[in-house]
Amino acid sequence: MPLGEDKVLEIQNKARAIRETIIEMLVAAGSGHTAGPLGMADIFATFYFHILNHEPHNPEWEERDRLILSNGHIVPVRYAAMAHAGYFPVAECLTLRKFGSRLQGHPERTKLPGLETTSGPLGSGLGQAAGIAYGARMDRKRFRTYVVMSDGEQDAGNTWEAAMFAGNNKLHNLTAVIDRNNIQINGMTEQVMPLENLRGKYEAFNWHVLEVDGHNIKQFCDAIEEAKAIYEKPTVIIAHTIPGKGIKEIEFDYTWHGKPPTKEEAKKFLHELRTLGGKVKSEHQ
């Protein structure tokens, strides 16, 4: 489906709303990851407001597209996107990581409908997505399976076992998205455990590889459409993103991987988001 300017603008606005919710929920939680969720806000907004064939009020609908989140620690972006898409009230986002909440620190399928899987321990999402895609193909189901992975979890052996499995089985109904933000907890990925040549690695495992600017909604959608047209292989979209995207102070700073903003910082960050970095006046001021 071609993407008009209006639609792109709508998705961008959703992404900004998702970023605001991420900041609000992390402050309320007092713990959690900041950089990853902010960096993936554009992609999750695009999934929930354009790509996915889904029914927010009927999350178990059998024919829905499956979106698997492998790197569960960025789940605030998914919770925020789901809430804004109508899966549950946005206000519930403030229960993140609290006792009794459906919004667990890392996502649990059994707690909140629509999450698809339980994740957090890295490297196991691609295999699960491959299993879903394999089962769906056995039954000639038309839905697509998407899986979002971090670049850090490309260190994990299970990721490559699954990559080999999906490539061998030519799972063309499976599309993987790697959040290539170049950071992991211990520092830059290329210093901790170099991943390059990442494209070449996936190509060697019989995948169709695309690279996009993860903040360019049109480019990302084009890649998703191209993946649907590839029938011989699974596709992986390496989405180059800026960790912490949208808040200058967080962008590119790996120390923001695993900590939430303080109340003071959150006030400043929300102001930045609501004024588009000071370009417009905010009604929230």
Which region, judged by CB under 8 A, interacts with another protein, from 156-164, 186-194, 214-222, 230-238?
Answer: 156-164
Helix locations, the chain, DSSP H: 5-29, 35-39, 41-46, 75-85, 125-138, 157-168, 189-192, 198-204, 217-229, 263-274
| DSSP 8-state symbol, 48 | I
* 174 SS3 class: strand
Query: Which one of residues 20, 24, 116, 151 is an interface residue with another protein (CB under 8 A)?
Result: 116
- Rounded least distance, CB 44 to another protein, Å: 21
Q: How far apart are CA 200 and CA 211, in angstroms?
A: 12
The minimum distance between CB 163 and another protein, in angstroms, equals 9
Give me the least distance between CB of 145 and another protein, in Å please: 8
Part in contact with another protein (CB under 8 A); list of ranges 83-91, 108-116, 186-194, 248-256: 108-116
For position 258 contacting another protein by CB under 8 A, the verdict is no
Binding to another protein by residue 133, rule CB under 8 A?
A: yes
Select from 67, 23, 21 the least CA-distant residue to 44: 67
CB of 243 to another protein, least distance (A): 25
Report CA-CA distances (Å) from 29 to 33, 79, 88, 148, 260.
Answer: 10, 13, 18, 24, 8
Binding part of the chain for another protein, among 112-120, 183-191, 211-219, 247-255 by CB under 8 A, reads 112-120
Q: With CB under 8 A as the contact rule, which of the stretches 16-24, 153-161, 192-200, 227-235 interacts with another protein?
A: 153-161
Per-residue three-class SS string for 232-246: CCCEEEEEECCCCCC
Binding status of residue 52 toward another protein by CB under 8 A = no
Q: Provide the 8-state DSSP code for 70.
A: S
Q: Is the dihedral of CA 249, 251, 254, 260 positive or negative?
A: positive
C-alpha–C-alpha distance, residues 51 and 145, integer Å: 11
x/- binding map, residues 161-200, to another protein, per CB under 8 A? xx-xx-----------------------------------
- Residue 123 CB, nearest approach to another protein (Å): 8
Our finding on whether 136 is near another protein (CB under 8 A) is: yes
> Does 65 contact another protein by CB under 8 A?
no
| Distance in Å, CB of 53 to another protein, minimum | 16
Give the Cα separation of 214 and 279 in Å (integer).
23
Q: Which stretch, 89-97, 105-113, 175-183, 258-266, contacts another protein (CB under 8 A)?
A: 105-113
Compare residues 135 and 277 and give the one whose CB is closer to another protein: 135
CB 173 within 8 A of CB 130: no
Which distant-in-sequence residues (6+ apart) come within 8 Å of 220 by Cβ?
Answer: 42, 43, 46, 212, 213, 214, 237, 239
- Residues of this chain that interact with another protein (CB under 8 A) are 108-110, 116-121, 123-136, 138, 157-158, 161-162, 164-165
